[in-house]
Amino acid sequence: MRDKALVMLEERCKGDQCQLCVEFCPKHVLCLTEKYNRKGYHPVTACDIDACTSCGFCELICPDMAIFLVDRDEAEEAVKTGMVEEGTVVPELEIDAAKEGGTD
Ligand code: SF4
Ligand code: SF4
C-alpha cells in the first residue's frame, strides 16, 4: 500500500479542454470521465490507479491544482470527517471502501 493517495477535484478540472495530466502521466493512469462537471467539462479520473507510482508529475503539470498527492492517512481522515470539497475523488480510498463493503 502506498503512503500517498491521489486526489482529484472534479469541479476544478478542465478535463477535455486540458488533458495535460492524461497526456503526460508516464504510467497512463488517468483518463476522462463521461460525466460533466459544473463548468461543462468531462473531469479526469483514474482508470488504472494500481499503476500510479506517486511520481507527482500530474500535480506539477496541472494548471488548476485539480489533482495532487496527499498523505494517505490525511486523505482518510478528511474523507471520514467530511472535510473535503464537493467533487473530491480519491480512487484508492474508494477501492478500499468497495473491498470493505464486499466482505459483508
Ligand atoms: S502521480 Fe505520477 S503515475 Fe500517478 S497519476 Fe500522477 S503522473 Fe501518473
Ligand atoms: S491537468 Fe488538471 S485541469 Fe487538466 S485535465 Fe488534468 S486535473 Fe484536469
- Which atom, in ligand 1's list, is nearest to the CA of 69? 1
Q: Which ligand is nearest to the CA of 50?
A: 1
Mutate to test the pocket of ligand 2, among 6, 64, 65, 69 (most ligand atoms within 8 A of CB): 64
Q: What is the 17 CA–ligand 2 centroid distance (Å)? A: 9
CATH code at position 26: 3.30.70.20
The pairing of beta strand 4-9 with beta strand 67-71: antiparallel
Ligand 2 contact via 64 beta carbon (within 6 Å): yes
Count: domains in the chain: 1
pTM given for the model: 0.92
Q: 5: pLDDT confidence band, cut at 50, 70 and 90?
A: very high
Condensed to tens digits (0 to 9), the pLDDT of residues 35-91 reads 999 999 999 999 999 999 999 999 999 999 999 999 999 999 999 898 899 999 999
Q: How many residues does the chain have?
A: 104
For residues 44 and 66, the answer to whether their CB atoms sit within 8 Å is: yes
The whole domain housing 14 covers 4-102
Q: Look up residue 75 and give its three cell numbers.
A: 486523505
Please tell me the predicted confidence (pLDDT) of residue 28: 98
Mutate to test the pocket of ligand 1, among 3, 4, 20, 25 (most ligand atoms within 8 A of CB): 25
Residue listed under C-alpha cell 500530474: 58
